[in-house]
């Protein structure tokens, strides 16, 4: 079977959970006899087809025009993608997102008959995307979902949101994100250091300002643990200034990962790979402060990374986290926007090492179900169901 992964940004231009998805899923699918290809937007906007080239995970990748949904469909812009489908004998297109990728996949389907699967992402959540409040946009998404051969969702929350646009319960599947479990084994023996870590895009809805306020309360009580904030985003400078205003010791552009300074707010910038695993592996706690009133997380990749690293987690009380708890995630839930609640739980878990290690141990025991090899089997079953039909 030959499947084309349709995503606007290439693997090299993608970060976070989507990058993990695009990297590891094709590797695991290949072991199941599914050959994947990728088509992404040409960032140079040359108008023609670029490629093929081989991405770092071995996937043959093309880049070309990536149309915005509109009433008039440009055959010229659609042609390069159709040519890739013909050249590579694509059996099925897997669109990452409903609005743009799904819309393009639907246009290819109308021209060629190649079926497509849609995985719903944050682009259909009204709290995340203002355009979903427009009737025209919702109608386009409805048509995309209606014509899709199958639809997958990362969580029941995402499924419910998608069904409000178009009820596809008869062809929907819940398939979560995955983790490269073997790659996390080396972190298990790392000695703990006195810090907690939060990882993600530094945007207001991610809640890092709440953590900084919580640590101001903690340090005022004589607490010496540090907070490591790993990521970049539009709120990075504001977060650093907030910490300074609260008279916290701020460390920026931090690269000495083997030893985190005490009693500090440490900004590392964007991290990935072995450095990310090291910082998580050395931490006492993982913090997940997303603000569900502002941003609905399709799936918290950080939470299953905590499981793979045998770490305890403190998280905002959200539907996504509660869903993952049904799979064995051990997480202490707090009111998302309450710094005092965060401070209290951080202090409690930091001081109770036995409870902390027990939570981490239980997280590791339940992590295997999220290994990419297991997630790939679920996607293969969806693909097979499409092809059999």
User: Is residue 16's pLDDT more than 80?
Assistant: no
- 265-305 pLDDT, tens digit each: 999 998 888 999 999 999 999 999 999 888 777 777 889 99
**Average pLDDT for 10-19:** 70
Q: Quickly list DSSP for 125-192.
A: -TTT-GGGGSHHHHHHHHHHHHH-SEEEESSHHHHHHHHHHS--GGGEEE----B-GGGGGGGTTPPP
8-state DSSP, 319: H
Of 140, 138, 172, nearest to 157 (Cα)?
172
What whole-number percentage of the chain has pLDDT above 90?
75
Q: Report the SS3 class of residue 227.
A: strand
Domains and CATH numbers, the chain: 2-178+371-388 (3.40.50.2000), 182-368 (3.40.50.2000)
Res. 14: pLDDT tops 90: no
Q: How many CB atoms lie within 10 A of CB 190?
A: 15
Q: What is the DSSP string of 334-379?
A: E-TT-HHHHHHHHHHHHH-HHHHHHHHHHHHHT-GGGBHHHHHHHH
**pTM of the complete model:** 0.89
Per-residue confidence band for 186, with pLDDT thresholds at 50, 70 and 90: confident
> Could you read off the pLDDT of 189-242 as tens digits, one per residue?
899 999 999 999 899 999 999 999 999 999 999 999 999 999 999 999 999 999
């Amino acid at each position: 079977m030959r499947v084309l992964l349709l995503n606007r940004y290439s693997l090299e231009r993608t970060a976070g959970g989507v990058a993990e998805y695009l990297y590891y899923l094709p590797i695991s699918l290949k072991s199941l006899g599914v050959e994947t290809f990728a088509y992404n937007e040409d960032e140079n906007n040359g108008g023609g087809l670029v490629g093929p080239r081989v991405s770092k995970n071995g996937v043959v990748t093309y880049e070309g025009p990536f149309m915005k949904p509109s009433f008039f469909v440009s055959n010229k812009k659609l042609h390069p993608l159709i040519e890739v489908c013909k050249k590579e004998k694509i059996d099925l297109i897997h669109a990452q997102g409903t609005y743009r990728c799904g819309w393009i996949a639907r246009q290819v389907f109308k021209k060629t008959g190649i079926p497509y699967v849609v995985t719903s992402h944050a682009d259909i959540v009204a709290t995340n995307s203002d355009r979903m409040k427009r009737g025209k946009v919702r109608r386009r998404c409805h048509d995309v979902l209606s014509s899709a051969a199958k639809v997958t969702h990362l969580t029941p929350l995402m499924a419910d949101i998608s069904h409000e646009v178009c009820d596809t319960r008869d062809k929907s599947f819940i398939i979560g994100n995955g983790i490269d479990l073997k790659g996390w084994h080396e972190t298990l023996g790392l000695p703990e250091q006195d810090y907690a870590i939060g990882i993600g895009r530094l945007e207001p809805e991610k809640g890092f300002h709440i953590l900084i306020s919580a640590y101001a309360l903690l340090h005022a009580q004589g607490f010496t643990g540090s907070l490591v904030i790993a990521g970049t985003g539009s709120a990075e400078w504001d977060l650093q200034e907030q910490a300074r205003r609260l008279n916290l010791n701020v460390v920026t552009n931090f690269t000495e990962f083997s030893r985190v300074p005490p009693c500090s707010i440490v900004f590392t910038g964007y991290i990935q790979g072995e450095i990310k695993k090291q910082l998580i592996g050395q931490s006492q706690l993982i913090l997940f402060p997303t603000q569900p009133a502002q941003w609905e997380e399709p799936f918290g990749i950080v939470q299953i990374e905590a499981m793979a690293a045998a770490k305890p987690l403190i998280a905002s009380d959200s539907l996504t986290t509660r869903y993952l708890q049904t799979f064995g995630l051990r997480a202490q839930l707090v009111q998302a926007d309450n710094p005092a609640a965060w401070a209290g739980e951080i202090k409690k878990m930091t001081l109770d090492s036995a409870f902390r290690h027990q939570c981490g141990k239980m997280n590791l025991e339940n992590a295997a179900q999220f290994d990419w090899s297991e997630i790939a089997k679920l996607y293969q079953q969806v693909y097979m169901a499409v092809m059999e039909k």
